[in-house]
Amino acid sequence: MNKKSFETFGISPEIVTALTSLRYFNPTAVQEAVIPLALEKQDIIVESQTGSGKTVAFGIPICEQAEWEENKPQALILVPTRELALQVKDDIMNIGRLKRIKVTAVFGKSSFKTQKSELKQKSHIVVGTPGRILEHLKEGTLVVDKIGSLVLDEADEMLNMGFIDQVEEIIGYLPNERQTMLFSATLPPQIERLASFYMNPDRASVRMEPSAENTPKILHSYINVEESSKEKRLLDLLTIENPDSCIIFCNTKDAVDTVEKYLNKADLPIDKLHGGMDQDDRLEVMDEFRSGKLRYLVATDVAARGIDIDNVTHVINYDVPFEKESYTHRTGRTGRAGKTGLALTMVSDQDRGRWQEIRDYAFDDSLELTEVFAPNERLVNRSKAAFEKKINARVAPKIARNKELNKDITKVYFNGGKKKKLRAVDFVGTLTSIKDVSAEDIGIITIQENVTYIEIMNGKGPYVISEMQDRTIKGKTLKVRKAHK
Ligand code: AMP
């Protein structure tokens, strides 16, 4: 068993401390292979599965190399989906927290104007989906002349989703003198071609052989069903399985709506996620599912890619996916971080041909697939009491990984921003005039039109708030209090 520590990479103590607070004690195999190469600014192609710890593998070197004083973005990370953009942003902000690294996420179906104003402020690292990043580049709202590192995360997914032309166009805007790191679960020829065009010929290749540690432990099963009784069959299966946390995948928005409605009637703690929903609603649903408040999520493939939620015990394919690759992505939401998960696919008559294709694609001798049969009524009835008990039980909220990290950081609200012509230097000037407060105690500053948020580090938040009650900023008296969120 590998017991190397993060210190041996020679990274700054702020990052090592943040990793410990995040309960990352030893590097995973992919981190051990990638971090030393990345710190030397080498170009790297990494073939590894999601769940192997690859976000931290590129997050650490990027945070290490970021210079706090530089206001322009120094690293750009391209990802296939909005959800993944937000997740990568949070992961990297956590790693860089004590270095006060600011990460900005940009993606479609969300206010361009808000993103533009965020990009105007200090952003060390930008993560986004290709379409929206390109829009910002064309508008001139994303400055790239200081970009020293480019990460292509889930490159095969970006290819599958048709983003490759946009990725190439984005690369055309970037400085030639840069490091490029490409992460992909598979390396189809188009990805190899991309690498040979846009990466250093001396690039390193890292291929993580599946091992017990990085192979998801998933028990795969399927059940033949009649189309007309699918909903009832699903509820029966859930009743006897009684999952702690379950994602049910459907192929279309309409199917998601119908299944969610049916299960909601049965009083399950459930919500839904699909691309037709408002971005804020999508994020709220993800948060509630992640925190454990919702045990069940009905979703289209938007929830299938790259999303990292601890402890999903069951993945059910209510529909056999249209794309065979989706099977792997969907079922990969369970069996993560060394835990065993269960995947069950419901196969109706019309899906049989597609199911055979998936079986040929996803299964070989090393992976077992079990057929299960419809549970009989007696078993379902016997399982009901336990099922109902669990769905009515209040779930103890999961402790967020970054709780320890954030315990000494207070977000402080000021009721004045750009409209009052306030700039970061005005705030820093006043705050550092307080006795025992220095620039190191001031974290991320976010100035909006009418309000400003400033993170105060090292447990000094309450002291700063009390001191600020009778001070002014640039001669202006502002309300100062702990921010609600
Ligand atoms: P990823 O491959 O980036 O999707 O990461 C998979 C999971 O591994 C995430 O839940 C991470 O929080 C977790 N993780 C990453 N690095 C480590 C580490 N060194 N030790 C423990 N867990 C980790």
The answer for 12, left when phi > 0, alpha when psi is -120 to 50, beta otherwise, is beta
Structure tokens at 362: 């996803």
Tell me the H-state helices in 97-188. 112-120, 130-139, 155-160, 164-173
User: Ligand 1 centre from 295 Cα, in Å?
Assistant: 22
Residue 153 shares a structural domain with residue 224: no
Decide: 402 in ligand 1 pocket, CB within 6 A: no
Nearest CA to ligand 1 atom 15: 53
Which residue's alpha carbon is at the smallest distance from atom 6 of ligand 1?
A: 51
- Domain identity same for 373 and 225: yes
Q: Whose CA is nearest to atom 10 of ligand 1?
A: 308
User: Residue 446: phi, psi to the nearest 5?
Assistant: -125, 110
CATH code where residue 422 lies: 3.30.70.330
Residues 143 and 254 in one domain: no
Domain extent for 259? 217-392
Domain count along the chain: 3
Domain CATH for 332 = 3.40.50.300
Residue 224: name the closest of 368, 348, 316 by CA: 348
pLDDT string in tens for the chain (485-residue length):
456 899 999 999 999 999 999 989 999 999 999 999 999 999 999 998 777 889 999 999 999 999 999 999 999 999 998 888 999 999 999 999 999 999 999 999 889 999 999 999 899 999 999 999 999 999 999 999 999 999 999 999 899 889 999 999 999 999 999 999 999 988 999 999 999 999 999 999 999 876 666 666 889 999 999 999 999 999 999 999 999 999 999 999 999 999 999 999 988 889 999 988 877 788 888 888 888 888 999 999 887 665 667 788 999 999 999 988 889 889 988 887 667 899 999 999 999 999 999 999 888 777 789 999 998 999 999 999 999 998 888 766 666 778 788 888 999 999 999 999 999 999 999 999 999 999 889 988 989 889 999 999 989 999 999 999 999 999 999 999 999 76
Q: Which of 180, 207, 234 is the last residue of a domain?
A: 207
Regarding whether 375 and 336 lie in a shared domain, the answer is: yes
Spacing, Cα 296 to ligand 1 middle (Å) = 23
Residue with tokens 């990290």: 405
Ligand 1 centroid–CA 154 distance in Å is: 15
Could you tell me if 332 and 458 lie in one domain?
Answer: no
Q: Residue 311 Cα, ligand 1 centroid: separation in angstroms?
A: 13
Instruction: State the Cα angle at 47 between 342 and 155, rounded to 5°.
Output: 90
CB 46 within 8 A of CB 34: yes
State the DSSP code for 52: S
pTM, full prediction: 0.77
Query: Could you tell me if 124 and 74 are in contact, meaning their C-beta atoms sit under 8 angstroms apart?
Result: yes
- The residue whose CA is least distant from atom 13 of ligand 1 is 53
Ligand 1, atom 20: closest residue by C-alpha: 24
Last residue of a domain, one of 207, 230, 262: 207
Distance 55 CA to ligand 1 centre (A): 7
Would you say 170 and 178 are in contact if contact means Cβ atoms under 8 Å apart? no
How close is the Cα of 54 to the center of ligand 1, in Å? 7
Q: Let me know if residue 226 belongs to a domain.
A: yes
Residue of 22, 56, 93 with the most ligand 1 atoms within 8 Å of its CB, for mutation: 56
Answer whether residue 1 is part of any domain. Answer: no
Do 197 and 246 share a domain, yes or no? no
